[in-house]
Amino acid sequence: MSSSSPLTSSSEIPLQETGDVFLCYHDNYIAKSFLLDLNSALSQAGFNVYMNNHSLTTEYQTNFSALEASKTSIIVFSSNFDASTWFLEELEKILECRRTTRQVVMPLFYDVDPSDVRQQKGVFAQNWWFRNNKSRRYRAALSEVANMLGFDVRDSRDESQCINRIVQALTRLIQDKDLFVAKHPVGVIAQVQDVIQLLNNGQPEHTIIVGIWGMNGVGKTTIARATYNQMGFFFEGQSFLENVNEIWNRDGDLSLRQQLLSDIYKPEVLNTTAPSGMEEFRKTLCRKKIFLVLDNLNNLDQLNALCGSHEWFGHGSRIIITTRDRSLLHSLPDDHVYKMKYMDTTQSLELFSWYAFRKSGPIESYASLCQDVVQYCGGWPLALEVIGSFLFGRPAAEWEIVWEKIKTNGNHVVMEKLRTGFDDLQRGEKEIFLKIATLFIGMDKDDVIQTLDYADPDIGIRVLVDKSLVTIDSNNRIGMHTLVRAMGGEIIRQRSIGMAETKMYDVFLSFRGPDSRAKFIAHLGSSLQNAGIHVFKDEDGIRRGDKISESLLEAITQSSISVVVFSRSYANSKWCMMELEKIVEMSRTKGMVVVPVFYEVDPTDVRNQTGDFGKEFDSLISTTEVNEYTKIPTKVYEYKKWIWKTALKEVGNNAGAVVIKSRDENEDVKKIVESVTLLLDKTKLFVADHPVGVESRVQDVIKLLNSQKSKEPLLLGIWGMGGIGKTTIAKAVYNEIHRDFEAKSFLFNVRESWKLDNDKVALQQQLLSDIYKTTKIKIGTIDSGKNILPEILSQKRIFLVIDDVNKEDQLNTLCGNRKWFGERSIIIITTRDKDLLSRLEVDHVYKMKEMDDRESLELFNWHAFKQQIPSNAFTELSRDVVKYCGGLPLALKVIGSFLVNKKSEAVWKSVLEKLKLIPNVEVLEKLRISFDGLSDYDVEDIFLDIAFFFTGMDQEDVIEILKDCGHFPEIGISILVQQSLVTVDRENKIGMHDLLRDMAREIVSKKSKEGSKEPNRLWRYEDVRELPKDTISLYVKGLTLKMPRLESPTCLQTKEFEKMNRLKLLQFAGVKLDGDYKYLSKDLRWLCWHGFPLQFTPKDLHQGSLVALDLQYSYLKQVWREDQLLVKLKILNLSHSQLLRHTPDFSNLPNLEKLILEDCPSLSSVCSTIGQARKIQLINLKDCTGLRELPKSIYTLDSVKTLILSGCTQIDKLEEDIEQMKSLTTLDGDNTAITRVPFAVKMRTPIGSGLLPGDNYPDWLTFNSNSSSVSFEVPQVEGRSLKTIMCIIVYSSSPDNTTTESFEVLLGVINCTKDTKQVYNIDRSLALFDEEEWQSLISNIEPGNKIDVIVGFTNEFIVKETTIYLVYDEPNEEQTNDSHETDENDIVSSGNENLGCNYFDWYNAEVAEKDLIIMKQKRRLEVLTRVSDEQDQQLVEERKKVLEQNERIDEQNQKIVGLESGLDTTMKWMKIWRNCTLVLVMVLMYKMMV
């Protein structure tokens, strides 16, 4: 081409006003044809090109607007340049556009050396321009542009090819054909420039290799892609091999080499298959100047196969290698290593905001939380992206909850990404990493090396540093990224709870078919299968193609143990060697157990590749193939030689079985199977570091499991609150009994897995794989799983544990019903929700027991002191912590571990005080799961109300109060009990674990902070003091303030409560109020003020809305000075008010249901208006020692169920009018002056006489047992004879038979001394059987006789307790006058007691458990026998009626043929019922007591 003609007119070169490309040149004599050809080629490619039409004699003609509108500027440097002012300004403008609009700048060096331009040498040093006052600007601009990547077209043999390359590069740049870098490339440009500078830091003609090194997710690939986009098109060939490690493992090295050559030699150029031989591959590669990125290299084999040395590549090539293992880069003489930088705070916040808010900055209300996230992520891009995306779209109230969970448990995606680096470590390196993560952060490296008890810990730490898992700072201190450390903690946690990966196969069997299958393998495989071991064996010939099958690789990874059968020709099979390579990899990274079997081959030959075995190996290595590209024979497996030799040596050194010229292969196979079985059994689930109290609970569960007598599957639920150890016990039970079943499965943490749809099917698939050991059956959907699982599960006797269930769908999906399972299968479900177990109709529910004090202290000591007993200085503090934890294992472990390094008593006390105010986060999150699972806001409110105000109160009272607050407490409390959040004891008291109470307080506190409002429930003095003063109204539902008793009362101003106008629940203890009570809320439903300081309730205290008024321990003399009409009041409790003299006017309390005046000694009378309280059910006057009598109107109350007079020492009689109290079921008259019992009390059915003698009174001898039988020896009583026998039976019933109208009692009496047996059949309608028969029985009993009494029911009632009284006749009159008080050993039953004097009296079974009849009276026997003549006559008449009834059941008595048959029948009816408890009192007398 000619270069003599200048370009001076627009007619010669077409011009455009604006374009895609701005063409900048500065030489009038530049080759005309080159610019024309370049412009033409760009135009034909569809680009708009702008060429500045300027005359070099006229300055400042550059069209800056066209320059600014262009996407790319091409600057042409030549030897005949003219350094004019316009060119300087044009050059500076181009650089400005590059910085501000990211315009791409491409320099072309036409006939000048790029280094001359960069350093202003040669012709660029001769121009006068560099000697004037603007030379510094000019030099800076030239240096900056010349340092950019461009095209050197000097000495180009083919200008057209050079122009085509330029056009191709621009095409990719302009048309956005670059590799995708990042959705939000925050901070990318700066790091890309750093890498480009390293790539340019050397002679242009030299090959430069740069390694990009850093932990997973830090952005290595992102930076490599961006660098590739900026530089790749300047080279003759480009290739970006992404994720080399994955492709290598999947397809092998050959496919990677083919892809690399295909990228560089395009298909139209490279028509033949790429060379596969290493030498030919290298020779082909070095023909061009290329730009190559090898992404995610993970081992030395990959590096050697793709980038052996600098000489592999053409002059001027640039190679980037990304890896998380710096040691790989050390093995190659790379030119530079770029260590990835973490993002700074500003970059982190911007990136996080893009994903969390879809903009560059956070929303103001989220700013504080965003800062927490950014700090947590530590500048790690992956974590910022994942967590930001996870939080996107969530309301502020939910953010903090989710964020707390992430901080505690981590994010699954983030942890899995980090885990990859850990999994690549050797076993020893893993243990060193975990030790550092938990113990040694911040310590001196040399000190750590001395501490670590491992071989070569220095090397181990060096490996961790190379793999970006650990850092060593300039002070030799060991460091670790926050999230890497969190990952270490999570690994330890998973180990502790046994979350080991479930394998699909027990054993992978590797063998060479031709020389071992017929002789040995078939026998070994079948024996393993017969032992219940699931074996993968390549029976289907899945080895096909040129690379090892993905199915085979998956089978290896999904096996717990590999058995490698080395035979003579094993090492001559490429498939066997590939299997062995993968097996060794799994052994190193995943801890797979490898068992070698040396079949007709010496182990030494395997280890050293000698003998016939070595020859076979050498034969494989020397295998050659003709390269289709070069037509040259190549050794195919040469590069694998050292990998395979190492694998053979490693496995050959393992202990295994040697089978050479065996006389008894059966015995050899048996030993191998036994060895494998033993190894598999070692994979028990981890239970606990310190299994305190586990064994006793495991035995309790196993006892329930063994109770199943039928062949039906048994379902057992383990139920309890979070952190109580349900999973721990389930794992221990699993370890104990799983070997007894054909198949077993333990599905961990179903609640968490259920959150994702894919995981639901995965759980079904895991269950199928565990039981059936197959991958051939695939479950596509949940519904298809419900069809497949029953067919599979029902074929075997299985043991299944489904852990942490919280939804009915989970049970329906994983264990629909009993028909799903084979005979005698056992299914254990752990849950917090008892209702789920009821719906599944489980056979047994094992309620988890909290640890007792001894167990709690021992477990705490192990975690806090690493020993069973605490140091003396911390004994009492340890007991305080144990008391706080309330027997909850999780709290004991977490808090104990937290205190392990705290050696100061002051620190311990501070921690304990803090915990009482701010619960431990880890414990709190575990407990909160149940609360978060409540789907009803009403139930949540009821839980919070109980936690703050109502623990320890009667359930009925709480229900009444909450009802009037607008809640639905019956169903709400039921749900809370089912969810293990609340308990209701036998006395109907509501309870709650202290840590659940603390959790409730924390929930309320956090909600108030989220909403920037006051808490709606207050419980601390500081809360009241810190309430906002400038608010008109405060939404405070309840306030409880209990001050220490030993301190003087706390004084508050009533004015402070004026704004709490919606206060419904108010509880004070040790508090005084000053001011007008009118300021207190008019909406109060419950006022509980212990220690109320006034003598009367203030008139201006509005009480019209009160449902319950509890003023115990008050200074009241009278409740109201002026009576008030309180229509809603149902509960009035003034107990322990020592000064109380008068009861209120009950006519103003029309709906009062409970009156509790216990221990009010100054009370002398009860207002007669009590008779107008027609709805009252409970009157408790216990220990009112000043009370002399009851008003007669009290006897007119037919609504009263319970009347307690015990301790009223001045009350000496009950009126006969008591018969009007038709609902009375409980009458407690213990320790009163009553000497005469109203006849109506004796005769009335549900209540009986109400008086029982004390045990061991001289005339009453007592024998009892907690069963249906009593054995005793009749004593000798001087001066007295046996008059009658009284039998008291306590029994339990179910709701189904509670109201049974007709039932029979079998009473068997055996005189063992005289060998006589008598059986009595007593109907419910019968009051007394034949007196003569009973007289005969009693007369036959003599002192010294051994007697057995056995009782039973015909209708499935269960006898809980049996008591026998031997009643003797009275002594003479003198003896009677000697008063004798009974021992305080009264009969107190949990059932309903019912006593008659000389007849059978049956308790109405419809009365609930709470209506227990406990009739007590301690006084002389003579009181019982003093009955008026009128009463005697009534008793006689009643007795006649009873005898008439007796005649109607003679036929039934005749059916009893003997004691043995009667007793056998009795045992048939013995079945446990767990509901209401009733009491039957039978009095068997021979004659009337006179």
Residue 1241 pLDDT exceeds 90: no
Which of 477-491, 1004-1018, 1105-1119 is predicted with the least confidence, judged by mean pLDDT?
Answer: 1004-1018
Q: Considering only residues 1143 and 1405, tell me which one the structure prediction assigns the higher pLDDT.
A: 1143
Residues 6 or more apart in contact with residue 872 via CB below 8 angstroms: none
Helices in 102-134 by DSSP H: which ranges?
A: 114-119, 123-126
Q: Considering only residues 903 and 115, tell me which one the structure prediction assigns the higher pLDDT.
A: 115
Measured at the CA of 1015, the angle between CA 1009 and CA 1017, to 5 degrees, comes to 150
Residues 6 or more apart in contact with residue 575 via CB below 8 angstroms: 543, 548
Measured at the CA of 668, the angle between CA 663 and CA 669, to 5 degrees, comes to 130
d(CA 341, CA 379): 9
Overall average pLDDT of the 1318-1324 stretch: 67
**Helix, strand or coil, per DSSP, at residue 508:** strand
Name the residue among 1013, 1016, 983, 1010 with its Cα closest to residue 997: 983
Quick one: which H or E segment has residue 490? helix 482-496
Tokens representing residue 387 in the block:
């967590």
Q: Cα dihedral angle (498, 504, 505, 509), rounded to 10 degrees? A: -120
Residue 1197 pLDDT exceeds 60: yes
Would you call 1015 exposed, middle or buried from its count of C-beta atoms within 10 A (0-12, 13-18, 19+)?
buried
Strand partners, 1292: 1358, 1477
Q: Are 792 and 768 in contact (CB under 8 A)?
A: yes
How many Cβ atoms are within 10 Å of 423's Cβ, its own excluded? Answer: 13
**Helix, strand or coil, per DSSP, at residue 1283:** strand
Residues 6 or more apart in contact with residue 467 via CB below 8 angstroms: 324, 325, 326, 327, 421, 424, 425
d(CA 1226, CA 1177): 11
913 included as an active-site residue? no
Query: CA-CA distances (angstroms) from residue 890 to 322, 1151, 1348?
Result: 43, 46, 50
Overall average pLDDT of the 118-145 stretch: 69
Per-residue confidence (pLDDT) for residue 549, from 0 to 100: 67
pLDDT digits (tens, 9 = 90+) for 736-771: 888 788 888 899 888 877 876 566 888 888 888 778
Choose the catalytic residue: 350, 429, 579, 1393. Answer: 579
Residue 1234 pLDDT exceeds 60: yes
Residue 1467 pLDDT exceeds 50: no
Highest mean pLDDT among 168-177, 1056-1065, 1167-1176, 1435-1444: 1167-1176
Residue 1405 pLDDT exceeds 80: no
Average pLDDT value over all residues in the chain: 76
How many Cβ atoms are within 10 Å of 92's Cβ, its own excluded? Answer: 15
Highest mean pLDDT among 97-106, 269-278, 918-927, 1204-1213: 1204-1213
Residue 1208 pLDDT exceeds 90: yes
d(CA 701, CA 715): 12
Name the residue among 711, 707, 667, 969 with its Cα closest to residue 846: 707
Which of 629-638, 800-809, 1044-1053, 1377-1386 is predicted with the least confidence, judged by mean pLDDT?
Answer: 1377-1386
Q: Considering only residues 557 and 957, tell me which one the structure prediction assigns the higher pLDDT.
A: 957
d(CA 1303, CA 1322): 9
Per-residue confidence (pLDDT) for residue 1170, from 0 to 100: 94
Q: Are 318 and 227 in contact (CB under 8 A)?
A: no
pLDDT digits (tens, 9 = 90+) for 1375-1385: 333 333 333 33
Tokens representing residue 220 in the block:
């290595």
Tokens representing residue 96 in the block:
């400005």
- Residues written for the chain: 1490
Residue 1258 pLDDT exceeds 70: no
Residue 956 pLDDT exceeds 60: yes
d(CA 572, CA 564): 15
Quick one: which H or E segment has residue 381? helix 381-391
pLDDT digits (tens, 9 = 90+) for 526-552: 888 777 688 887 654 444 444 556 778
How many Cβ atoms are within 10 Å of 1411's Cβ, its own excluded? Answer: 20
Tokens representing residue 116 in the block:
């001359």
Backbone angles phi, psi at 888, to 5 degrees: -90, 115
Per-residue confidence (pLDDT) for residue 1129, from 0 to 100: 95
pLDDT digits (tens, 9 = 90+) for 23-82: 887 765 665 667 778 888 888 777 788 876 544 334 344 467 778 778 888 888 887 765
Model pTM greater than 0.75? no
Highest mean pLDDT among 43-57, 137-151, 473-487, 1149-1163: 1149-1163
Would you call 607 exposed, middle or buried from its count of C-beta atoms within 10 A (0-12, 13-18, 19+)?
middle
Q: Considering only residues 1416 and 382, tell me which one the structure prediction assigns the higher pLDDT.
A: 382
Q: Considering only residues 1415 and 483, tell me which one the structure prediction assigns the higher pLDDT.
A: 483
Which of 242-256, 358-372, 564-578, 1169-1183 is predicted with the least confidence, judged by mean pLDDT?
Answer: 242-256
| 194: amino acid identity, one letter | D
- Percentage of the chain surpassing pLDDT 90? 19
Strand partners, 593: 561
Which of 600-614, 861-875, 1053-1067, 1158-1172 is predicted with the least confidence, judged by mean pLDDT?
Answer: 861-875
Overall average pLDDT of the 1418-1442 stretch: 39
